[in-house]
Chain A
Amino acid sequence: MSDFFTATVLLATLASGIRLATPFLLAALGETLGQKSGVLNLGVEGVMLLGAYGAYYATLRTDSVLIGIGVGVLVGAFMGVVYGVVTLALKAEQGISGIGIFIFGLGISDLLFQKQVGTPTPIDGLGHFSIPVLGDLPLIGEALFQQNVLVYVAFLLVPALWFVINRTTFGLNVKAVGETPEAADSLGVSVDRTRYITIIVGNAMAGLAGAALALELAIFQQNLTNGHGFIAIALVYFGAWRPSGVMAGALVFGLIQAMVLQWKTLGIVVGTTASIVGMFPAVLTILVLVVVSRGTGAPAALTRPFERGH
């Protein structure tokens, strides 16, 4: 255990923790936007799987990480259109249809992988990009500012999302639609249009989160996400629907994962104990939900379909 508490190891853990937090963060920010407008998307896990596979496969074929990222985002946006039609036009119950999307993503990503790739073939993942000056800082420079591009994107999206929600008219519409859609509608704000935008953007971010995961691991396999998407949903509750809170939660989960990996590498946990450690994020998620469930701040119209005149 003493091996773990050295400056180098701790900094390396911090760096990888930030990297591992990125998929959580991207997915949870997207979910936050959707929930702010009153739409619960439980299909994040499935969308992440599809986005991850799309990014993996595109990168495998084109050797371009950027194209991979683009495909991941597009797959996510496409699933957003599907989910939007299902929940807004058809007014399907959001909880169960999200599970349907999850099962769909679980099956189809596996199907495509088996059919198109077959055996796990590694790809070149995301390269690291050192930010000038900051990246050269001693100690923390390496941990914080020599990351891959998606890490920067994810963390820049935190203030960006805050700004959109709190400082733009679109954000005002989103909040109104998520709290009291009738009020928004009665003033001529289109509830459906607002929700379509948040759902599509939110799912695109889930797709990007999947891409971040696949490109970080540089591999794809069946059920690659293994609960990432569901944990991301829990993080929205944890963060009380605030981007900064969501970021804090994502960092906690990223750092825990990094710590576990580090322990495995250092041989602190071996063999069957790895399974015990493997259930750590799930246990933590439940504990987090127990602690935050009494908290308030959920959009009042969350999961409630809107229908004019009712």
Chain B
Amino acid sequence: MTDTTNGEVLLELDGITKQFPGVLANDRVDFDVKSGEVHTLLGENGAGKSTLMKILYGLYNADEGEIRLRGNPVTISSPSDAIEQGIGMIHQHFMLVPTLTVAENVALGLPSSKRMLMDLTPVRQRIRELSDTYGLAVDPDSYIWQLAVGERQRVEILKAIYRDVSLLILDEPTSVLTPAEVDDLFETLRQMTRGGRGLVFISHKLHEVMALSDRITVLRLGRVTGRTTPAETSREDLAHMMVGRQVKLAPTRTDSTVGEARLTVRGLNVIGDRGTPAVTDLDIEVRSGEVVGIAGVSGNGQRELAEALSGLRPVASGEVIINGTDTTNRSPKEIRRLSVSYIPEERMRDGTVAEFSVAENLILTDHDLPPISRRGFLDFNQIKQVGSALVKRFTVKTPTLETPTSSLSGGNIQKLIIARELSGDPELLIAAQPTRGVDIGAAEYIHSVLMGQRAQGTAILLISEDLDEVMGLADRIAVMFEGRIMGVLDRAEATISRLGLLMAGVEEPNDSE
């Protein structure tokens, strides 16, 4: 790596084509990376950027095309080949073994550890040296499960530097970081490029792309639809290239009348999966006709909050009052009967039964009520009627009502869930990460549906890690950090920098600004 001079072409992908049954994931894609640069691969979910990088890292094999490293054609058919060629990859979800230490994670699979017995002393030594050089503070003897998300990412970067990669792929590396941590990461990445490494940065966050990239390649439907640099383009142009049409980056807001409190939470404490407090002394109120946003990096108690409110997780102390009824520690069923709907964060895990048909999923929460249930038997005519009405109203794209839900796209599965949850015009809606991972078209639609519900007087608690979304939709924004509300800002006073500080756990002085 050290013998590389900046500007030399490190990698060339030439005419890469990858066909999956029924879909062309990559269609003659050309892409190259020079040493010392950050080349961003931008595109919507499903545009083919992850497929392309998985081909480069040996996780998939290309049907056609050539990979050249420093001008020489190479075959990469497994991650070991990629590692041998000096390619590293930081995956969207961390490739770390939580029950092993930092040093063990770094040592895993190293050529030097092909020996029978394990000797971690030199590994620890080298980790300390690299930590110092790159400002990646981390204790080699900590277990991964003890580390915060930001620290884990440092371990991932250390793994790559340790292996002396000349080319590093970063797949959506900022999705779990606070704005301040993103700044630190970018500083480390710039230091790496100064040393002559080439970086591939995969993202869909336009402002980050503009801030970090030297060059940008945009993919849509498996094809390259644009090549540009930050100097020559704007966020709007990039969005246009990604989606293929003009998009509004901010949702249209409508008027609504704020009414009485629908959800009141006082002194809420909830215990997380690991037995530690996940939500601490939380107070919040949502009134009819308003959207209250919960911003924050995910993993700060948002999921536990939503689960406690919907009855899926016990409340340790405090009270939850919905429409004047105390629902603390009531069952999900009882809470639903109070006209409460919940769009869950993990739609594939919680929101639908993948193997069930679209129709079955549409009646999943009402299956035991008339008219669907008649003396314990299912009324299939009713199911069909209800199902087709909902599919039509919420424009769920599905071949038939009997289609297994798993074969729908992410955006359409989310529409299905929203159709079911909004079918009864709920008085309170808890929406967790409602547009995560869906395409821009579906996200726009979902935003407009939420705004419509707000206008009708639904109280909406919107939990989202997407700051643009929260700032676009919410009337008030509460920021969660380590289970606490750090502050609540009115829509008018919420800026990225103020929210970012709160997200990092920095309390605002009382006389703010």
Direct contact of A and B (CB under 8 A): yes
In the docked arrangement, what's the CA distance between A309 and B108, Å? 19
Q: Are A180 and B116 in contact (CB under 8 A)?
A: no
In the docked arrangement, what's the CA distance between A309 and B94, Å? 14
B274 to A, closest residue via Cβ: A296
Known A-B contacts A176-B108, A180-B95; the reply to A169 vs B117 at CB < 8 A is yes
Q: How far is the CB of A224 from chain B (nearest CB, A)?
A: 37
In the docked arrangement, what's the CA distance between A187 and B113, Å? 12
Q: Are A309 and B79 in contact (CB under 8 A)?
A: no
Q: How far is the CB of B203 from chain A (nearest CB, A)?
A: 20
B97 in complex: contacting residue of A167, A170, A171, A183, CB < 8 Å = A183
B321 interface contact, C-beta 8 A: no
B114 interface contact, C-beta 8 A: yes
A45 interface contact, C-beta 8 A: no
Using an 8 Å CB-CB cutoff, how does the interface string of B108-149 with A read, 1 for contact, 0 for none? 111001111110000000000000000000000000000000
A179 in complex: contacting residue of B60, B94, B97, B115, CB < 8 Å = B97
A180 to B, closest residue via Cβ: B97
Q: How far is the CB of A62 from chain B (nearest CB, A)?
A: 35
B478 interface contact, C-beta 8 A: no
Q: Are B109 and A187 in contact (CB under 8 A)?
A: yes
Q: Are B108 and A308 in contact (CB under 8 A)?
A: no
Contacts of B165 in A (CB 8 A): none
A179 to B, closest residue via Cβ: B97
A22 interface contact, C-beta 8 A: no
Known A-B contacts A168-B118, A309-B54; the reply to A175 vs B83 at CB < 8 A is no
For window 40-60 of B, CB contacts with A under 8 Å fall at 54, 57, 59-60
- What's the interface size class on B, roughly? 20 to 34
Q: How far is the CB of A198 from chain B (nearest CB, A)?
A: 16
Q: Are A187 and B116 in contact (CB under 8 A)?
A: no
In the docked arrangement, what's the CA distance between A199 and B160, Å? 31
Using an 8 Å CB-CB cutoff, how does the interface string of B74-102 with A read, 1 for contact, 0 for none? 00001110010000010100111111100
For window 166-212 of A, CB contacts with B under 8 Å fall at 167-173, 175-176, 179-180, 182-189
For window 1-57 of B, CB contacts with A under 8 Å fall at 54, 57
Q: Are B59 and A169 in contact (CB under 8 A)?
A: no
A177 to B, closest residue via Cβ: B97
Q: Are B96 and A183 in contact (CB under 8 A)?
A: yes
B105 interface contact, C-beta 8 A: yes
Q: Are B108 and A173 in contact (CB under 8 A)?
A: yes
B307 interface contact, C-beta 8 A: no
For A173, A175, A185, A187, the residue with the greatest tally of chain B CB atoms inside 10 Å of its CB is A187
- What's the interface size class on A, roughly? 20 to 34
In the docked arrangement, what's the CA distance between A183 and B98, Å? 10
In the docked arrangement, what's the CA distance between A189 and B113, Å? 11
Known A-B contacts A183-B105, A186-B91; the reply to A309 vs B60 at CB < 8 A is yes
Q: Are A187 and B79 in contact (CB under 8 A)?
A: yes
A277 interface contact, C-beta 8 A: no
B104 in complex: contacting residue of A168, A170, A172, A182, CB < 8 Å = A172
Contacts of B80 in A (CB 8 A): 188
Q: Are B113 and A186 in contact (CB under 8 A)?
A: no
For B91, B99, B105, B109, the residue with the greatest tally of chain A CB atoms inside 10 Å of its CB is B109
B224 interface contact, C-beta 8 A: no
Q: Are A187 and B54 in contact (CB under 8 A)?
A: no
A187 in complex: contacting residue of B83, B99, B114, B115, CB < 8 Å = B83
In the docked arrangement, what's the CA distance between A187 and B84, Å? 10
A300 interface contact, C-beta 8 A: yes
B159 to A, closest residue via Cβ: A187
In the docked arrangement, what's the CA distance between A300 and B97, Å? 10
B107 interface contact, C-beta 8 A: yes
In the docked arrangement, what's the CA distance between A185 and B79, Å? 7
Q: Are B100 and A175 in contact (CB under 8 A)?
A: yes
In the docked arrangement, what's the CA distance between A170 and B78, Å? 20
Contacts of A173 in B (CB 8 A): 108-109
Using an 8 Å CB-CB cutoff, how does the interface string of B194-218 with A read, 1 for contact, 0 for none? 0000000000000000000000000
Q: How far is the CB of B411 from chain A (nearest CB, A)?
A: 21
B78 to A, closest residue via Cβ: A188
In the docked arrangement, what's the CA distance between A269 and B61, Å? 68
Q: Are A188 and B117 in contact (CB under 8 A)?
A: no
Q: Are B118 and A183 in contact (CB under 8 A)?
A: no
Could you give 15 example pairs across A and B, Cβ below 8 Å?
A169-B114, A169-B115, A172-B100, A175-B99, A179-B99, A180-B95, A180-B97, A183-B105, A186-B79, A187-B109, A187-B110, A188-B78, A188-B83, A189-B109, A300-B98
Q: What is B's interface to A at a CB cutoff of 8 Å?
A: 54, 57, 59-60, 78-80, 83, 89, 91, 94-100, 104-105, 107-110, 113-118, 159
- 3 nearest CB pairs, A to B: A187-B109, A188-B80, A183-B95
